[in-house]
Amino acid sequence: MKIIVGLGNPGAKYAGTRHNVGFSVILKLADKYNISLTEKKHKAEFGKGIIEGEKVILAMPQTYMNLSGESVRELMDYYKCDCSDIIVIYDDIDLAVGRLRIREKGSAGGHNGMKNIILHLGSQEFTRIRVGVGQKPKNMDLADYVLSRFGSDEQSVMNEGFDRACEAVAVALAEGTPAAMNRFNG
């Protein structure tokens, strides 16, 4: 079983913001693979299903972003999964809008949600799919930027990015993370 976690902040106030691209990808995966996200345990909203012949859990932690690791750890412990069974999808301000970067391991890169996951797992060895949300304008506070919504000129590019992130998850499950890296890291 694989646990696919999209990072974001809970509540309608944050829906559609740059920081919630992980949630957006999980919702798109749930729709595409007919997985109902109705379970509410382990500090997450989640659902179980099958993607590319692999049993999966699609999860959206309901802690705030900075405490995402609590939910990921609870899901891992309950379902007896290893770090190698985890895929985390989250926003990256160092990538152009809609671009993807996939890695098998690595540091948090300044992302507080990832810092917390690494802290709770005690490892950096899990797959991550970063979705670019663009660099913040020079005169804007980082928190304000990541909690802002995409402009109309960015939304169609982001929608394509969400679609590609869903494809990347499918390739990672069917062929392995290195195959997804080769195909989607531009």
The residues carrying an active-site annotation are: 19
Q: What tokens were used for 111?
A: 């992302």
User: Which residues, including other chains, have CB under 8 Å from residue 38's CB and lie 6 or more apart?
Assistant: 45, 47
Rg from Cα positions in the chain:
15
Sheet with 86-92, edge to edge strand ranges: 39-41, 44-51, 54-61, 2-6, 86-92, 127-132, 100-103
